[in-house]
Amino acid sequence: MSYNTVDIADTAFINYLTKLFNLSIGDLRCMVKEIHSEMQKGLSGYSSSIKMIPSFVGLPDGSEEGSFLALDLGGTNFRVVEVVLDGKGKASTEASSKYTLKKKDIQGTGAQLFDFIAECIKEFINEYSLDLHKTYELGFTFSFPVEQTNVAAGALISWCKGFTSTGVEGEDVVVLLNEALKRKDINNVKVAALVNDTVGTLVAKNYSVSDCDIGVILGTGTNACYCEKMLNITKWRGISHRDSMIINMEWGIFDKLPFTYYDRTLDKQTENVQDHLMEKMVSGMYLGELTRLVLKDMANREICFFDRDLSHFTRNGSFKTEYMSRIVEDESDTLSDIEEFMKEFGFISINLESKQILKDICSIIAKRSARISSTAIAAVILWKDPELKETHTVGIDGSLFEKFPGYCDMMYSTLKEHFGSKIKNVKLETAKDGSGKGAAIIAAIAAKSEQE
């Protein structure tokens, strides 16, 4: 069959996909109930697909001020940042430097790794002429799985992302960094807080927008956090002098969702089968692969123009979410940018109907992602404020929210289905640099609490 041919089978398949990936408002309301059930179990210490991890820190009150440092370690490239807080809601990045870890740094001993990081902090202090007589509190964003036991304490559960440094798993990473700072004779830096990047996102936004009470990541992965009353955290066994605490939900693990054949196929391809199922339906790491699986299925069914040319997309992960973004963005009458894009992969003389089908597929998959993520946000808002009497600003970081064409609009549309006219009380706003500014603000909060 010619790959320029479009017939009734193509239309029928698109209708099939639309129904398959569609989530009705009834489905979404059931999802809200399931999320609430999992939140309750997580807060109570029972097994749950939403972990509800205490962060040991509350929201800033806006009066935090001074100069603080942040260390953002999430891969082989890491940052050291100096942030100045003015006590009036403004956080300014005064200095920032990036450093690169080599293979020997991440695959040697833990002492080697943290000594190198400490050496970079020392270099940062010298480069920007920081006051050697002033003690700088540092917020440490450590984007690896940890069991946090205090605002400034947490043991690494297991390495990932190619890190294999010995003597770190099971150890408190804050202690290891502080020890390395001492070995390098850095006596004016103290690690004040261990920070989750999602918690940092909320704190960074709340510092300037006081009604921001939910932080969300919608990028390569997805997660959320919000501020919960201490009385509701029934699994809490420690002593706390605050009324509320930020809870790191880890909602990407949520698994009470209707899965399609394509979702199950994608899940089987991953290293963490039957884990992070919501993330695999929502986040930028996986949406392109879901699209590829649909295209592959179309080729197997000999539908549309996807036959031998699909060889360009036979490898897992070969169709990127950024491709979807480019395809959906094309609003021209002839969808000329889609045609140019497909030519890059060997497709020639593709007719308008075929280009439109490709755009429809990308839109269908992106829409489901937006409906799931916004419904999860709606669930958190309804948990906090069932009658939606207050204003809730949601600080969101991530390329999916910021860059995918129409994604934010689809989220608002779904939220309107949940809230009707009360949607005016919900604001979705970009929140940047939670791992930098947010970590520094959390260091300030921790330092202030210690003084009190």
Over 90: is that where the pLDDT of 360 sits? yes
Pair 177, 189: CB distance under 8 Å: no
pTM of the model: 0.92
Indicate whether 232 and 369 sit together in one domain.
Answer: yes
Indicate whether 154 and 108 sit together in one domain.
Answer: yes
Kindly report, residue by residue over 152-202, the tens digit of the pLDDT.
999 999 888 889 999 999 999 999 999 999 999 999 999 999 999 999 999
Backbone φ and ψ of 99, nearest 5°: -135, 155
Residue 450 lies in a domain: no
Poorest-confidence range of 25-29, 55-59, 117-121, 156-160? 156-160
**Six token digits for residue 207:** 């510092």
Indicate whether 80 and 15 sit together in one domain.
Answer: no
pLDDT level of residue 271 (50, 70, 90 thresholds): confident
Over 90: is that where the pLDDT of 450 sits? no
pLDDT level of residue 116 (50, 70, 90 thresholds): very high
**Strand 222-229 with 153-156, pairing:** unpaired
Over 60: is that where the pLDDT of 29 sits? yes
* Percentage, residues of the chain above pLDDT 70: 94
Kindly report, residue by residue over 389-415, the tens digit of the pLDDT.
999 999 999 999 999 999 999 999 999
pLDDT level of residue 42 (50, 70, 90 thresholds): very high
Specify whether 311 is catalytic.
no
Report residue 56 CA to chain centroid gap.
Answer: 20
Over 90: is that where the pLDDT of 4 sits? no
Over 80: is that where the pLDDT of 311 sits? no
CA proximity to 329, closest of 286, 284, 288, 359: 359
What pLDDT, on the 0 to 100 scale, is given for residue 3?
35
Q: Which of 37, 143, 318, 449 is catalytic?
A: 143
Measured CA to CA, the distance from residue 80 to residue 96 in angstroms comes to 6
* Percentage, residues of the chain above pLDDT 90: 77
Q: Which of 115, 172, 197, 433 is catalytic?
A: 197
Residue 349 lies in a domain: yes
Specify whether 37 is catalytic.
no
| Structural domain for 310, as ranges | 1-55+202-433
Q: Which of 79, 292, 368, 371 is catalytic?
A: 79
Specify whether 72 is catalytic.
no
Indicate whether 110 and 218 sit together in one domain.
Answer: no
Q: Check which CATH number belongs to the domain holding 74 and give it.
A: 3.30.420.40
Degrees to nearest 5, angle at CA 418 with 421 and 285: 125
**Six token digits for residue 128:** 């920007």
